[in-house]
Amino acid sequence: MLVVAGLACQEVGASIAVLLFPEVGPLGMVMLRLAFSAVVLLAIARPHLRGHGHAAWTAVVSFGLVLALMNGLFYLALERLPLGVTVTIEVLGPLVLSIIASRRASAWLWAGLAFAGVVALGGGGWDRLDLLGVLFALGAAASWAFYILASARVGAAFPKLDGLALAMTAGALVALPFGIADAGAALLRPEILGLGAAVAVLSSTLPYAFELIALRRLAASAFAILMSLAPATASLAGFVLLGQQLNLLELLGIALVIAASIGAVRAAGRHAREAVEPLG
């Protein structure tokens, strides 16, 4: 329930962000989300700045750049594509990473299933989808894969939430000039700042907290499988909150990508267990 609640919060936050695009633009929304998320995380983590070497700070800055890039590409895609379609394309990043990590012939089955899902996502004609939006979503997918790798490096170098808080701050600083240029005077309006803070809490703070609590009760494999449901929750949020309709082929495409994600996660988990068992 916590994982599902976290997914729901993320997609509600994304829906509010889409509604704010006419006021602040996608890059202004990125800046607001990262800035407010950084403030909350810094207040919670209170990270120690001393005692870290050059490699650790390089990892933090790199993670911050990835955060800014991933969120920027995601919101630029959301400006042109339905929420469900954008999230479905975005999850191809961690899906490909899972397939590579499994190193099994069966991984090609999940790759083929995901490819079929992406083709179906075009609804029988990719001309229905904005090409630039698709490219932005693919860029967000690649950034998500790098996010996973960068997060692991920062997590190994910094305790608790320290690394994430510092990386979020770095990402907010990177996004600042682009956000100011995109949003302009709208950033001086209290209601815009309030909604930006709500997006940050819904899209970052609450999901991170729910995920941390859930991981204490769930196996990592079960958690990853539940996270594969993100395209479904995004499609539902887009339909309910934004009135975004999807045809049957697009819904089939989303279902195929979810199935491929679940299969790839399970295959990677089996490979990890088989690698450990001989050592036992």
pLDDT at 104 over 60: yes
Tokens representing 92 are 């191809």
144, pLDDT greater than 60: yes
CA distances from 28 to 62, 108, 218, 232, 249 (A): 21, 39, 36, 27, 33
Least trusted range by pLDDT, from 165-174, 225-234, 261-270: 261-270
Q: Which DSSP string do the residues of 201-216 spell out, in sequence order?
A: IIIIIHHHHHHHHHHT
Extract the tokens encoding 128. 């229905």
DSSP 104: S
Residue appearing with tokens 């698709």: 134
Residue type, 226: L
pLDDT digits (tens, 9 = 90+) for 17-58: 999 999 999 999 999 999 999 999 899 888 888 878 888 899
Q: What is the pLDDT of residue 215?
A: 65
**Diameter of the chain by CA atoms?**
62
Q: How far apart are CA 168 and CA 205, in angstroms?
A: 11
Question: Of the ranges 57-61, 96-100, 114-118, 243-247, which one carries the lowest mean pLDDT score?
Answer: 96-100
1, amino acid identity = M
**CA 223 and chain centroid, separation:** 15
Looking at residue 247, the DSSP 8-state letter turns out to be -
**Residues 6 or more apart in contact with residue 54 via CB below 8 angstroms:** none
Q: In whole angstroms, what is the distance from residue 16 CA to residue 53 CA?
A: 39
Q: Is 217 helix (H, G, I), strand (E, B) or coil?
A: coil
Contacts with 114 (C-beta within 8 Å, 6 or more apart), sequence order: 92, 95, 256, 257, 260, 261, 264
Higher pLDDT, 96 or 30: 30
Q: Are 194 and 38 in contact (CB under 8 A)?
A: no
- Summarize pLDDT for 57-72 with one digit per residue, the tens: 999 999 999 999 999 9
Angle between helices 162-183 and 2-45 (to 10 degrees): 90
Contact at 8 Å (CB) between 45 and 161? yes
Contact 136, 76 (CB under 8 A): yes
pLDDT band at 194 (very low <50, low <70, confident <90, very high): very high
In this prediction, residue 126 carries a pLDDT of 54
Regarding pTM above 0.85, the answer is: no
Token pair 């083709």: residue: 119
Q: Is the pLDDT of residue 269 over 60?
A: no
Distances (CA, A) of 189 to 23, 76, 144: 10, 22, 32
DSSP state of 129: S
The closest of 260, 262, 263, 261 to 116, measured between CA atoms, is 260
